[in-house]
A = this chain, B = another copy of it.
Amino acid sequence: MQERTGSTTILHLEAFLPYRLLRAAEEVSRRFARHYKNRHGMTRPEWRTLATIGQFGSITAKQIGEHSSMHKTKVSRAVRALEKRRWLKRRTDDLDRRIEHLELTPPGKTIYRELAYIARVFEQDLVEQLGKSGAHRLDEGLTAIENNLYPEPRR
Contacts and interface: CB of A to CB of B under 8 A. Distances in A.
A32 B129 CA distance: 30
Q: Which of A20, A27, A130, A145 has the most CB of B within 10 A?
A: A145
Interface residues of A, number: 69
Q: Which of A18, A23, A139 has the most CB of B within 10 A?
A: A18
Given A17-B126, A138-B141, A1 B148 contact: no
A142 B148 contact: no
The A interface, classified by DSSP as helix, strand, loop or mixed, is helix
Nearest to A51: B13
A124 to B, nearest CB: 10
B3 A55 contact: yes
Interface string A86-124: 000000000000000000000000001100110110110
Contacts of A137: 137-138, 140-141, 144
Contact of A21 (B2, B140, B142): B142
A67 B28 contact: no
A144 B123 contact: no
Contacts of A41: none
Q: Which of A3, A130, A135 has the most CB of B within 10 A?
A: A130
Contacts of A65: none
